[in-house]
Structures are given as structure tokens and as C-alpha cells.
Amino acid sequence: MKAEGITRINKKEIQHSFESLQDQICNTLESIDGGARFREDIWQREEGGGGKTRVMEEGNVFEKAGVNTSAVWGRLPERMAQRMEVDTGDFFAAGISLVIHPRNPMVPTVHMNLRYFDMENGDSWFGGGTDLTPYYIFEDDARHFHATLKAACDKHDAEYYPRFKKWCDEYFFIKHRGEARGVGGIFFDYLKGSNDLLSSFVIDVGEAFLPSYIPLVERRKNMPYTNAQREWQLVRRGRYVEFNLVYDRGTLFGLETKGRIESILMSLPPFVSWKYEYHPEPGSPETALLEILKNPREWVD
């Protein structure tokens, strides 16, 4: 059934918006790092479309940072159509996806994904969000990150932030561990309505990324840390990997639609550790993090 009352979005415009955001973020990250630069791979998808994968590795500040854009189209596989509860047909999808793994464990990892999806029957929607994954809790950092996202949401609808914050807490939850991936942010999917208004909202979320995250990097990048704190970072990165490979919808969609494997898996950290029966000391900063991850809290009023 064709969706009624929906203005079809200009696909080239939304693709260009994501690519402009990619340029802005990559330029800023290179400037802060002061050493490494992004390598760009422009790739084509045999079934239709392609993208730009940009990865920076072994930097002064960022151990690995990936910022990808893509615009792909073709026939939606039946298995994916069933999972998404839509009719099989031709689709168009455009988006930007980034993951930043800092070198210093006092700097949090961050993720953002924004996407537009369009079916040939006229149905279309937006999805995405951004979330923060610290290794050590600095409450001012979490409050700043959430307050910046709330301000971006409030420009469009006062109900967006509380709704999408709750959704994020529920989505980025590692069920088999009984803990959140991090301190959350916002998450939304199958967001439908006026495409003009929603595209403006999604781009504003993208524009809020740098002011939400970069101040945290600047505060923490030069803090001293120990080998034990580095090891804790690697253990927590293992949890990140578990979520991405088991639960993440974007990863599953990319694999199901025969996306570019290197681009899909660029979100994984360069170094990671799994320790058998590893438990931090009671009362330690590491245990303080786990207590928050098991009991997500409100960070702004």
C-alpha cells in the first residue's frame, strides 16, 4: 500500500547532506589528531549504488576512526523485507555512519548513524541516533553530551529527546550481559511524517555531533593513564564488538544486502580483549561504570 500525504524526498539532496557532514567531521577529527589522516575508499555496489569509506588509524588521539557515507539501491531481499515488515520491492537507502575509538581510555568511544530509507511503493522513513561509550565515568561529559542532543531535539519537538533517549537505552543494551553499551544518547527508527521536517531534524542531529563530542575529547585526550586502565578499555571494547555483531541493525542490514564488508565492519576497534571471569575490584572506578551501565540514568532534566 502506498503511503499517503508524504512528500518524496530529493534523494540526491539527502545524499549530499550526509556527504557534506562527512567532510566536516573528518576535517575536524584530522585537525584535532594532528598526525594521522583519513584514507578514502570510493566503492560501488554491484546491485546498485556505492559509497565513501574513510578510515583513520594509529593517530595521536584516535586509534581508529571511521566515517562512512553510502547511497545504495536495488531489490530488497525477502529476508530483510520480512525482518523490516515491509513488502519486497525496490529500495533506496542513504546514510552516514561513524565510530570513533580514541587511544586514551579517558576519552569515550562514540557512534553515530543517520539514514533515510525509501521503498518503491512510496513508503519512506528516517532512522539513526548517536550514543556515547565511556570507559571511565565523568558525569560532566555525559551531561554535556545529552544536553547537546536534547537541544537539537527540542528545536523540532519537545517530546523527541525523552522518547528517543529511552529508545536508545533500550536499543543499545547487551541482553546477554545485562548491561547497556554505554551512557546512551538518542535512537529512533521508522520515523515517518513530513519528510521535509524530518530531514531537517536528522541533519540537525548530525550537526550536533561535533559540539556534543569534541569538547569531551579536548578535556580528556592528554590525561595520564596506566596499563591497567588501558587493559580495562580493551575489555570494554569487547562488549562493543559483542553488541555490533549480535544486535546492531545496521550491521545486519549491510550483511544481508551484500554491502561492502570492509565498510560494514570498520566500526570494530583495532585492539580488543576478552578475559575469562574478569571482574573489577569493588569500589573501583571500573565498578562505578558497571553500576551505571546496569542502571541507566537520566543525564539532563
Residues annotated as catalytic are: 111
> Closest Cα partner for 187 from 205, 214, 210, 212?
205
CA 220/CA 234 separation, integer angstroms: 18
CA 11/CA 94 separation, integer angstroms: 8
Indicate the SS3 state at residue 125.
strand
Indicate the SS3 state at residue 44.
strand
Cell of 209: 555531533
Q: How many residues does the chain have?
A: 301
Q: Phi then psi for 274, rounded to 5 degrees?
A: -120, 120
Indicate the SS3 state at residue 233.
helix
* CB-CB contact of 156 with 203 (8 Å): no
DSSP class of 211: H
CA 62/CA 252 separation, integer angstroms: 26
Q: How far apart are the first and last CA of the chain?
A: 41
Cell of 217: 575529547
CA 298/CA 33 separation, integer angstroms: 31
